[in-house]
Each structure stands twice: as structure tokens, then as C-alpha cells.
Amino acid sequence: MQQIIYFFQKFKYFLFFILLEFIALTFTFNNLNFHKSKFVNSANSITGGFYSTLSNSTEYLDLKSENELLSEENTRLKNILEKNITVSFDIDSTVIDSLKYQQKYTFTNAKIINNNYSKPFNFLTINKGKNQKVDKEMAVINSKGIIGITENSSSNYTRVQSILNKNSGINARLKGNTSYYGTLKWDSKDYNTVQLHDIPRQAPLKIGDTIETGGKSTIFPEGIPIGSISKINQGNTADNKVDVLLFNDMSNLGFVYVIKNLHKEEIQSLENTNNE
Amino acid sequence: MNKSLNQSLFFLFLLFLQVLILNNINFLGYINPYLYISFVFLYPLKEKRFSFLFFSFLLGLLVDFFSDSGGIHAFSTLFIAYFRLFFVKVFFRKIPADYPFFNIKSESFGKVFNYVVTLTIIHHLIYFSFANFSFQNLSMVFLNTLYASVFTLILFFTGNYIFTKNE
């Protein structure tokens, strides 16, 4: 017993040091795991509160560009609306608008209050949380393209795993009539470029082609723009890798939409049924 | 009493300086200084080290909370906080009896420079290795360490120069 007490006396600082380092390592490993990052993140009320105060005081600096984005988006949406109205008037029979009764997605607007893009594992914080029905595994986009997936939410704030995160893997496809799919990942080198992996070799790729979300997941609706192809790998590598230049400037983000898939639980329960 | 109040104000000042200003600099797209570690350099040397180790850990963890990095800042800050005493012995040749009278401002610039540079590079190397979290892109880890260390050191010595001159 004397020996043990003496041991603790002698190495007390070292043992304290090891204990705290162990705690820090636990936080680090949990943070890299999508489903476990509960404790240390910027979506709690204290850090979220600080960031939202800061962003409230700086948001007027980029009001002009935000307004331009908004008016561009409004013009685009108005054009789409106009097209649809003319089409529905042309048909002189009863139109059953199936979309109306099978709404699949709901949109919530939110503001980014903290943005990271310079590290290998980047996260964003938005100012909506469980009180506003924003929860984990929802898509986050803006008018130009995709931004990330919500990961962890407190009552008023949510942390978003950016597409600029080495853990992110999003289903994406070539825009057009073809249906060639790949996985969108990031190699942590340049915040304007992401990589599309495993796209089939026979896919007709050209520089400048648009890449959009594939709709093969329960998170992103299909057809949301991502970026354009900037470099095609000519070599015979195992995974056919294509560089994609993002439409979004990830270093300058303001208001976003959070998309909730109303059919997610139904799809997931179907996929998880055991084979008998 | 006055001293501990000063220490806690300095703690909060460094935390908010780091998370609200320095984390958003992104010079050339990705270079940020990590000036909050000057807490470790300037905290007085004491025989009992529990509070110092704990506050270093806490400062790192709070920076982690704000920058969504898990426990990486906490890990690296605690690491240099624990090994600070070793480097004080190496560079300043102090024995435990000297600790209460030790003041970094009264030491010669060369010794302080060696001490601060060593601790900064160790901290940044650990931080960027964990932030990268793989054995790929090792060259990026070393480059980031180099750039960020230079940035941090410039800020630290400029700040030190400005604040000591007024006294």
C-alpha cells in the first residue's frame, strides 16, 4: 500500500497529464465519427450564441452580394414557374397533380454563422436547430449548389459536415440523359475542387460538363448542381477520378436551405428489413 | 488575488482573440496563427502544476469547441504545457528553487527565442498531424507547421515587444 501511495505521489503530474491527454484523444476520435460527435462541437448554445452575435454584427458587410444572389435565384424560379403554368393550361383534361399529395421534401431557410474551409475536416454551424425541426442527416444547399449534411443539432443550432471534409461521400452523377454515378469526396488540398470517384470508364466525360447530385441517397434530392468537371484523369488507375470545380465559393457562404426528406424513415425501414 | 484575476482575464482575452479573429484570418487561403499558446509561455512557474496543466487543457478544449476540431487543440496545448518545465531547465538552466523568481521578461532574448520557438513548433506539429489524421499529405503537414509557426512567432514577439515597452 505504501508503495502504491508513493508511486502516485511521485508520478502525480504525469498521471494527471496522461488522464487529460486521454480525454482529449477520446474527443478527437469521436469528432471524426459522424454518429458519435456529441460533446465537443460548435452547435451548443454557448458557442452558437457567440457565433450568431458575431455573424449578426458582420452580416451587413455582404448584403449586396446576398441580394444579388437572391434576385438571381428568384428570376430562375419565376422562369420555371412560368413554364409550368403554360404547360398545365395546354392540357385540356383533368390534371391530377401527384406532386401535391406526395410532397417529398420540405425546405427550411437558415444562416451560416460559422464557416471553416482551410482544414482537412471542415464543419459549418447554422442558426436553426431542433426547435425549428432541423435534425441530423438533412441536406444543406444554397442557390448555387450543395454545401453539406447536417450532423448534430442542439435546440437552436446545428453543425453541418461540409463537403470539404475528408469523411464526406456524396452520391453524384453526370448531368444529362446518361445515368453514370460516382461518389464525391475531397482530398483536402484545394477548397474549390472536389473529386468524383468511381465513375464508370465508359461515361462520356468532357471538361466543363456539369455534375449534380444523384438522388441515390435519402439525404439529397436529385438534380442539385455541384460543379463542373475541371480535370479528367487519363491514366489507368483503379478508381477513375475526376476533378470537379465547385459552383459555390465555399469561403464565402451566407444563407442556405436545409432540406428534409419526408420519406426518409419509410425508405430506411424498407432497406433495413432482414432477408428471410 | 490581483494576479489570479489578471491571469483569468488574459485567459479569456487569448481565447476570444483566437476564436473570433485569428481563426478567420486564413492568410493565402489556409494559414492561421495560433497565438493562444502564449498562455503556456507566460503562465508563472510554480512548484504545484495541477492548475497550470488543467487551465492549459481547458483553454485548448474551449478553442476546440469553437473551431470544431474534437480535442486536437487540447491535446497539443496540454503536451507543451507538461513539457514546458523540461525546456525551461534546458534553455534557462533553472533549478526548482529559482521557479518563484523566474520571469520570462527578464531573461535574455536569445534564450526566450529558443524556448518559444521550440514549444511553438512542437505544438503546431502535433496539431497539424492530428488535423490531417492520415499518413498521406505529410508534406502539407510540415509546410503548414512551418508557415503557421512563423505567423504565430511574428505575432507573439511583436505583441511582447509592444506590451513590454509601455511598462
Which domains are delineated in chain A?
41-103 (no CATH), 105-271 (2.40.10.340)
B29–chain A nearest CA distance, Å:
7
Q: Which amino acid is at A35?
A: H
pLDDT digits (tens, 9 = 90+) for A11-53: 888 888 889 989 888 888 888 777 666 666 777 777 888 888 8
Q: What is the mean pLDDT of residues A81-97?
A: 59
Cβ–Cβ under 8 Å, residues B32 and B25: yes
The pLDDT of residue A99: 55
pLDDT digits (tens, 9 = 90+) for A178-231: 678 888 888 888 888 998 888 887 788 888 888 888 878 888 888 888 999 988
B3–chain A nearest CA distance, Å:
24
Please report, in tens digits, the pLDDT of each residue of chain B (167 residues total).
577 888 888 889 988 888 888 888 878 877 889 999 988 888 888 777 888 899 999 999 988 888 888 888 999 999 999 998 888 888 888 777 777 777 777 788 888 888 899 999 999 999 988 888 878 778 888 988 999 999 999 999 898 888 876 54
DSSP string, B61-108: HHHHHHHT-TTHHHHHHHHHHHHHHHHHHHHH---GGGGGG--GGGS-
The pLDDT of residue A93: 57
The pLDDT of residue B147: 92
Q: Which amino acid is at A3?
A: Q
Please state whether beta strands A139-141 and A121-126 pair in parallel, antiparallel, or not at all (unpaired).
unpaired
Q: Is residue A175 very low, low, confident or very high in pLDDT (cuts 50, 70, 90)?
A: confident
pLDDT digits (tens, 9 = 90+) for B59-106: 999 888 888 888 889 999 999 999 988 888 888 887 777 777 777 777
Q: Would an 8 Å CB–CB cutoff place A171 in contact with chain B?
A: no
pLDDT digits (tens, 9 = 90+) for A149-160: 998 888 888 888
Q: Would an 8 Å CB–CB cutoff place A58 in contact with chain B?
A: no
Query: Where does chain A show beta strands of DSSP type E?
Result: 105-115, 121-126, 139-141, 146-153, 158-165, 170-174, 181-185, 193-197, 210-213, 225-232, 242-246, 255-261
Q: Would an 8 Å CB–CB cutoff place B86 in contact with chain A?
A: no
Q: pTM of this prediction? A: 0.80
Q: Would an 8 Å CB–CB cutoff place B167 in contact with chain A?
A: no
Q: Count CB atoms within 10 A of the CB of residue A116.
A: 23
* Residues in Cβ contact with B116 at an 8 Å cutoff, skipping those fewer than 6 apart: B41, B153, B156, B157
Tell me the pLDDT of chain A averaged across its residues. 82
Percent of chain A topping pLDDT 70: 86
Pick among A118, A121, A251 to test the B interface (most B CBs inside 10 A): A118
Q: Which amino acid is at A11?
A: F
From chain B, the residues in CB contact with A192 under 8 A are: none
**Least CB–CB distance from A21: residue in B54, B69, B75:** B75
Alpha carbon distances (Å) from A171 to A29, A136, A189, B146: 25, 18, 21, 36
Cβ–Cβ under 8 Å, residues B123 and B79: yes
Q: What is the mean pLDDT of residues A254-270?
A: 85
Q: Would an 8 Å CB–CB cutoff place B9 in contact with chain A?
A: no
Instruction: Domain of residue B56: give its range.
Output: 2-164
The pLDDT of residue B67: 84
Set of cell numbers at residue A271 = 432497406
Report the C-alpha gap between B133 and B121 in whole angstroms. 18
The pLDDT of residue A38: 64
Three-class DSSP category at B25 = coil
pLDDT digits (tens, 9 = 90+) for A61-80: 778 888 888 888 888 888 77
The pLDDT of residue A100: 57
Please state whether beta strands A121-126 and A105-115 pair in parallel, antiparallel, or not at all (unpaired).
antiparallel
* Counted domains in chain B: 1
Report the C-alpha gap between A93 and A84 in whole angstroms. 16
B62–chain A nearest CA distance, Å:
9
Cβ–Cβ under 8 Å, residues A165 and A188: no
Q: Would an 8 Å CB–CB cutoff place B130 in contact with chain A?
A: yes
Q: What is the mean pLDDT of residues A91-120?
A: 74
Q: Would an 8 Å CB–CB cutoff place B101 in contact with chain A?
A: no
* Residues in Cβ contact with B92 at an 8 Å cutoff, skipping those fewer than 6 apart: B102, B107, B111, B115
Q: Do B29 and A191 touch (CB under 8 A)?
A: yes
